[in-house]
Structure 1
């Protein structure tokens, strides 16, 4: 009605009709007429017109937004450059030698591919091998390589490259930490060059995780003598079959130390090319230097930081975290102390320990408290187990009931003339020394006197762990996602060089561990691991504390990253092909 009245009034206006004379045959108003529109309207008409036009524009915008939301989507786009700070120096960008150096391990994870790999949830999935068969009750594994695999230089990648890599690992002249995983494993070609066959001396259910090791190009390494393997230039000029390859290396003069390494997508990669076109890694000597670069935004991310360095971050920084198969615990050596051999004392120490306080104050909440020797997310982990919750009054009561009393009011309990004194031995590490101090305070509150012995890496190894001279060892275990607790808890592993740090000796447990590592059915293995956890908790050979997470400061610009459970921090790159910095709009 308003528009109809407006139109009639416009026609009646002299200036409008005069403008109409310019083009009397036109039904639609002329340009000149439109230019005079506001001059012929009253204030009220102008207001109504403005509201009407505004409403139309708003409706148009809402409709447009609805259309875009309904019929388009934002997707990843190729391009962009990503820079990460890493503490340390790359020395051996070689999957056989890399595991002992985080910088090497990170780069190897991007440059090399194995037969299998971990995904971002810690599951083993195909990589260079498209499938595998487990035969002869778990003694034989056959891997079928993807067709038409090639190295970045165009050379064919086949079973001989895989066999060459495994034989190098097995060679005693090539010192590497992977050797125990491959002892007595026979590697050979299958019925053709696309099939690799591994024969184990006995069934070993966690074997698949060993096949995540990166494969070396035989045609480049074949002529390198074993004695020159670790010092060869291919270790800093590597070529692999991974998602990325080296573009350039920047060195500092005159020292020759590597300042940065830039990676580009591997054009011969078997899978889809990664979205990010340039990856750059800058190397720093200390976490403080790396954090400073991150704060100044000269890097996009830091390749993991310790909990003690969380305070170096800004309040609004993006921090990504993921679970790891590692934990810290107090391992009790019952052969070194009669006090430690008293199970009541070990239980009282457990009840006197506030694990949540340790997690929150030392690890800033990044992690989980632990009650068993398996971490949440690992096969067989269950929460349906007894727990020694923080209960200091109960700790006092059970000590009192078994004769540990404070008769002279010096806040130290005694029994049979022996004071309740325990020595914690640990590594000179910020998180561990702070944990030891907190345990001293917590245990002191229930009448246990605690001494702390802090040692360097070499001292801890040579003077404490190897001779098993500690009473209570505050230490960490790094496990595999697919657990094999045999080495850590079987009675045959009690003495150096094996890692049964509690010197735990339980024949029934030995049978459980022996059976579990040979079972192929994961449900059956999980049931055995539940029995394993139950027995450990009942016997209390250790006090399990916390399982810290991987802490990954990053840029909000990075999209597509999802990490949940990592075999080790370098597996954060497992799904890097999905990471992206740029996006585009597409129709659904």
Structure 2
């Protein structure tokens, strides 16, 4: 094993119930890739429905969708969008019009040609008033006008420039020729959901309550997969899946962020396995309320941040939590070289600059005769509470009185974070492939419905964020994001503590698998067409 497997189960508000996952392999042959490679994947949960417009994120259905379907674009491990079904794309300078040209010769698994009408059909289904799928999936396409110019060309007009629109264009397509007669409201009951036909690296052979058997797509536009057969077995829960792993029925697993002792025992007993840590596009952070006294003083915020040992705090969340440096997760295209936090400063000098002194060594900090007392809130979760206590202890060592109050998630949000009445709060943030920081840091988002929980207000930062949203130039956006990170560090507006990881345990013989960021659990399949199993 590459490391111990005990870690944080990311909070309820950050994760919506992540399925445990596993895989097994069987191979024949004597050299190179096994000619009859068979991969067997175990998933806790049932795949309902196997439809790219309806399948919930982090589900068994989403895993099958990743293996069976494609969008115009695909997202790389660093979040960069690349052409998938589209051969090429172009955008007007104002970012309001996109043109996509499909690759020639594309076909659905049933042999029917993929055309621009399939793109139009998929978008119109998402825009239907009665669309029954996830609201956020439909919202991304609100007011986007789409036209088929010819069999291979699609033009899309946006109501406003959207920097991450190419990520949105990674939405997998539906076949119009099979679903044209199905109204949006009836889509969940469509027979298609039990016999899906896509364009992906594998095509469906069999699907029932026990398993899905997939055969490789020999006409796959990114190259014929080396794995001939991909079987997905469905288990009632993580415990049943673990039993299958222990018995050898499966020989790999994408584990959750909190592994049990039994999981570690099972995996450590399997020397043919190795583990690859996959970083999630998320982080845990300490909010310091920028508009509530006494934390409206940046000098005090700087002293507090400098008093925290981030590596020790990250360790509280398990050895799989990576100590954080800033708001952009390492491995993202948006990650910058700008320091996300000031380091190496004289802590006592910072406290003196803030005006909070100790009357004696080890005593409490006071200003104008008043002690520094702060209240730290977080959600009532074992790991979050442990982290809050660790933060409190480090600040108490600096003479600060800290009261920790764990709360149910709904109260934490409704009574403290959204009205910005808290002083200190530990919470989580999740980024997508395009980690647009506007929602978290623009002053317009300091509202009951906004997500600028730090109540950070800086007119110059507002301009940078607006500029970043109005350009498609990645280099310009990176430069603006670097300025943002530096300003957050200067103001100690919030302190990012840790990035979560999930270990992907797999056979040593697995080749072609590349570790990238996990925006969703099924992202581990982004290059599955390149996977192969070396012959023993």
TM-score by length of 1: 0.77
Aligned to 2:196: 238
Deviation of the 1:194 alpha carbon = 0.6
Aligned to 1:226: 184
Aligned to 1:66: none
Do the aligned residues in 1 keep the contact of 2:336 with 2:481 (CA within 8 Å)? no
Deviation of the 1:510 alpha carbon = 1.1
Among candidates 469, 490, 497, match of residue 449 of structure 2? 497
Among candidates 121, 139, 144, match of residue 96 of structure 2? 139
Give the secondary structure class of the aligned counterpart of 2:301.
Answer: helix
Among candidates 314, 339, 342, match of residue 359 of structure 1? 314
Aligned to 2:276: 320
Distance 1:498 1:376 in 2: 26
1:265 equivalent to 2:265? Answer no
Distance 1:454 1:296 in 2: 40
Give the secondary structure class of the aligned counterpart of 1:356.
Answer: helix
Aligned to 2:11: none
Deviation of the 1:540 alpha carbon = 1.9
**Root-mean-square deviation over aligned CA pairs:** 2.9
1:437 equivalent to 2:407? Answer no
1:110 equivalent to 2:64? Answer no
Give the secondary structure class of the aligned counterpart of 2:356.
Answer: coil
Deviation of the 1:430 alpha carbon = 4.5
Give the secondary structure class of the aligned counterpart of 1:550.
Answer: strand
Aligned to 1:274: 225
Aligned to 2:7: none
Distance 1:288 1:400 in 2: 54
Do the aligned residues in 2 keep the contact of 1:334 with 1:341 (CA within 8 Å)? yes
Among candidates 48, 68, 72, match of residue 91 of structure 1? 48
List runs of 5+ in structure 2 lacking aligned partners: 1-29
Residues 531, 107 of structure 1: CA spacing in aligned structure 2 closer, same or farther, 3 A cutoff? Answer: same
Aligned to 1:480: 432
Among candidates 149, 166, 178, match of residue 123 of structure 2? 166
Do the aligned residues in 2 keep the contact of 1:322 with 1:566 (CA within 8 Å)? yes
1:348 equivalent to 2:303? Answer yes
Residues 282, 390 of structure 1: CA spacing in aligned structure 2 closer, same or farther, 3 A cutoff? Answer: farther
Among candidates 302, 326, 332, match of residue 288 of structure 2? 332
Give the secondary structure class of the aligned counterpart of 1:340.
Answer: coil
Aligned to 1:378: 332
Distance 2:354 2:458 in 1: 25
Do the aligned residues in 1 keep the contact of 2:326 with 2:485 (CA within 8 Å)? yes
Do the aligned residues in 2 keep the contact of 1:163 with 1:187 (CA within 8 Å)? yes
Deviation of the 1:229 alpha carbon = 3.0
Residues 310, 506 of structure 1: CA spacing in aligned structure 2 closer, same or farther, 3 A cutoff? Answer: farther
Aligned to 1:193: 151
Give the secondary structure class of the aligned counterpart of 2:215.
Answer: strand
List runs of 5+ in structure 1 lacking aligned partners: 1-72, 252-258
Aligned to 1:46: none
Distance 1:218 1:360 in 2: 50
Residues 368, 139 of structure 1: CA spacing in aligned structure 2 closer, same or farther, 3 A cutoff? Answer: same
Among candidates 526, 530, 533, match of residue 574 of structure 1? 526
Give the secondary structure class of the aligned counterpart of 2:173.
Answer: coil
Radius of gyration: which is bigger?
Answer: 1
Residues 451, 234 of structure 1: CA spacing in aligned structure 2 closer, same or farther, 3 A cutoff? Answer: farther
Aligned to 2:252: 301
Distance 1:409 1:209 in 2: 55
Aligned to 1:61: none
Deviation of the 1:113 alpha carbon = 0.4
Distance 1:229 1:331 in 2: 42
Do the aligned residues in 2 keep the contact of 1:83 with 1:301 (CA within 8 Å)? no
Do the aligned residues in 1 keep the contact of 2:340 with 2:485 (CA within 8 Å)? no
Do the aligned residues in 2 keep the contact of 1:86 with 1:303 (CA within 8 Å)? no
Residues 238, 339 of structure 1: CA spacing in aligned structure 2 closer, same or farther, 3 A cutoff? Answer: farther
| Structure of higher RCO (CA pairs closer than 8 Å, 6+ residues apart) | 2
1:182 equivalent to 2:138? Answer no
Deviation of the 1:539 alpha carbon = 1.9
Do the aligned residues in 1 keep the contact of 2:337 with 2:482 (CA within 8 Å)? no
Among candidates 198, 201, 207, match of residue 249 of structure 1? 207
Deviation of the 1:380 alpha carbon = 4.5
Give the secondary structure class of the aligned counterpart of 2:295.
Answer: helix
Distance 1:303 1:473 in 2: 30
- Report Cα offsets for 1:523-581 as digits up to 9, x if no partner: 22221111121122122221111122332122223222122334433211111111112
Do the aligned residues in 1 keep the contact of 2:374 with 2:424 (CA within 8 Å)? yes
Deviation of the 1:172 alpha carbon = 4.3
Distance 1:240 1:325 in 2: 27
Residues 93, 432 of structure 1: CA spacing in aligned structure 2 closer, same or farther, 3 A cutoff? Answer: farther
